[in-house]
Chain A
């Protein structure tokens, strides 16, 4: 999606018979049976084009091969061996286009004893140590509330593709990229693998205290506070009228007595209005933030000002808000357009790009090939 939003022409090959799981994922505009009505899919596939191909039909595979000839990069996340079985393995792709870049994304990668592992969104959290180190020290492991591996692995895949394009630019060579979900999940907690004895710590930090989430007045009103300097701690005490205690003077003191610090701070925050406290802490230069829920995020003034959500017209969803890339280029700005309806670009791609006649496209559609 990052590539498409930033100007790459991304053609998504889909099956009308076996729909992309995203098209069946809520929330929906209208009926859940409308494969173009998933707001989730729309959000996850902005700026792409969609064609339908039946890859179990050799004629569908042949059309895919013609698209390979056009492409710089092929990205796939089929099970191991599937691309080879249908005649689209890397060796074949390289014969079609010698400098092609193939990025294969899977749960456990294309080699090793777990190469065939069929997992789901949270499998990588279990196999990477995330689940074991999430949660409170006195409770069982905790799974992320979403498929975090589905977030991190595609980001690594984007870096992989961009670095392979750079390599091709200088050497003329393509390559096969093998991106596992587990390995990026390990990388993003490399600091825990580097620690002598990593353990579950809830919200605490090895060198910062206070460092946690504290209740404020009202239901589910929480404030996150981190303290990087002793001066910030003194500011917190001043704002909340906590009497200075020499036992807590230094960061090391506070980390040693972190439970007592958290209890004192929690007692003080529990009776104050969160937004008032946030304003006072911000003015004092203390890192603090509201723990925002989905509504807060959607309405967040900072995100709105940053253009994080932009209104995009979609044929089924109507005008709806879509997220934008978190980066702004001074000379090559991004442009987010609507996610495609299923097969919306069959004519553009098969007729205008590949030179097929409209009649041939219609016939192959009727025969279940462009479908």
Chain B
């Protein structure tokens, strides 16, 4: 039996609930998805739609009512306003009705349209992302939608837990702006307590009086690593440099006696030049191996092909083949490791059917 086997979910998706429905499907729920997103792509359909039973948007929304009548959860994406008139919502006191909106239901921006990009901008995340000489930058993909989707799944599961105790469903309002802003855990609080406003620092990590690099070219790509106040880590790195006669002045530094964050910038820059030369001479596989074995805290910056081909992720079974009418694509499948049994969800992107007459939830289980 899978984690959520037997849980019935209707999803009306428009970006905000897509990942939430996908997570519930991955955990074994039966998810019927009706999308009204105009700006989807085949990649977005594949990523968020696999494992769901998909329908095209019906000409008559009342055809959704029999689906809703038997659902445990209704993921109601109101990114561009309500899809269903309130008076069509059936009386189902066990229904968990999760409504995702860009903003709060009755705040000053209620009713404003938003997209992933505009939500990211308002969250404060973009202001601190990117290079100082370029415009603010978003994160890759659609992270405001993703963060909201996870909160939608969380809200649905919390309400499910409550329903076991009360026997009652309930309505849950999820704000996409709040979901996204929560990820920006530092900037608002830093302003509140210090008056400081963060800026874009590129790939520099600024702490205390100085800044350190985060991204380094190596012989065949890039790695990320920073000089931080962790004496054991610094000693482990310098030890290998010494073995290669490349440590220079770093060999004489007592890492327990100094705070990197308090060192003058020119000293840090000189130390970093020694490290830069060393990293540039070695391939990322070698640097990654040293990091794993010796606790450097260095990570290889992997491109998507390298992530897909990772031995580690292969052994953990992260990527699964998903078939669609355009072929087979390897996509992330399991969300995490667990002991529950049950078959995985269908590893297919089903074609969108037309909802003329609903065959009943049992037909999908």
Does B337 make an interface contact (CB < 8 A)?
yes
Does A151 make an interface contact (CB < 8 A)?
yes
Which B residues lie within 8 Å of A166 (CB)? 3-4, 7, 157, 160-161
How far apart sit A65 and B255, CA to CA, in the bound complex (Å)? Answer: 38
Does B155 make an interface contact (CB < 8 A)?
yes
Verify A327–B316 contact, CB threshold 8 A.
Answer: no
Verify B107–A288 contact, CB threshold 8 A.
Answer: no
Does A47 make an interface contact (CB < 8 A)?
no
Known A-B contacts A145-B129, A193-B332, A202-B137; A229 and B38 likewise in contact (beta carbons under 8 Å): yes
How far apart sit A108 and B291, CA to CA, in the bound complex (Å)? Answer: 14
Does B192 make an interface contact (CB < 8 A)?
yes
Q: Which residue of A lies closest to B142 (CB)?
A: A191
* Contact count band on B: 35 or more
Does B71 make an interface contact (CB < 8 A)?
no
Q: Which residue of A lies closest to B42 (CB)?
A: A194
Which B residues lie within 8 Å of A220 (CB)? 127, 199
B332's contact among A163, A183, A213, by CB below 8 Å, is which?
A: A183
Does A264 make an interface contact (CB < 8 A)?
no
Which A residues lie within 8 Å of B42 (CB)? 194
Which B residues lie within 8 Å of A123 (CB)? 224, 297, 299
How far apart sit A355 and B178, CA to CA, in the bound complex (Å)? Answer: 41
Binding site secondary structure of chain A? mixed
Verify B173–A190 contact, CB threshold 8 A.
Answer: no
* 8 A Cβ contacts from B154-172 to A: 154-155, 157-162, 164, 166, 168, 170-172
Which B residues lie within 8 Å of A26 (CB)? 190, 194
Does A206 make an interface contact (CB < 8 A)?
yes
Known A-B contacts A291-B121, A326-B178; A167 and B340 likewise in contact (beta carbons under 8 Å): yes
* 8 A Cβ contacts from B211-234 to A: 214-215, 217, 222-224, 226, 228
Verify A140–B217 contact, CB threshold 8 A.
Answer: yes
Verify B170–A330 contact, CB threshold 8 A.
Answer: yes
Does B245 make an interface contact (CB < 8 A)?
no
Verify A130–B140 contact, CB threshold 8 A.
Answer: yes
Verify A190–B311 contact, CB threshold 8 A.
Answer: no
Does A245 make an interface contact (CB < 8 A)?
no
Verify A134–B137 contact, CB threshold 8 A.
Answer: yes
Verify B335–A109 contact, CB threshold 8 A.
Answer: no
How far apart sit A240 and B266, CA to CA, in the bound complex (Å)? Answer: 47
Q: Which residue of B lies closest to A211 (CB)?
A: B117
How far apart sit A2 and B331, CA to CA, in the bound complex (Å)? Answer: 28
How far apart sit A176 and B316, CA to CA, in the bound complex (Å)? Answer: 15
Which A residues lie within 8 Å of B335 (CB)? 156, 159-160, 183-184, 187
List 12 extra interface pairs beyond A213-B121, A290-B121, CB under 8 A. A119-B299, A120-B297, A132-B303, A140-B215, A155-B150, A183-B313, A183-B332, A191-B46, A213-B135, A293-B191, A293-B197, A302-B107
19 examples of A-B residue contacts, CB within 8 angstroms: A27-B194, A114-B312, A126-B301, A131-B222, A134-B137, A143-B203, A146-B184, A190-B332, A205-B117, A208-B115, A225-B118, A292-B124, A293-B124, A296-B124, A298-B189, A302-B103, A303-B177, A305-B106, A306-B103
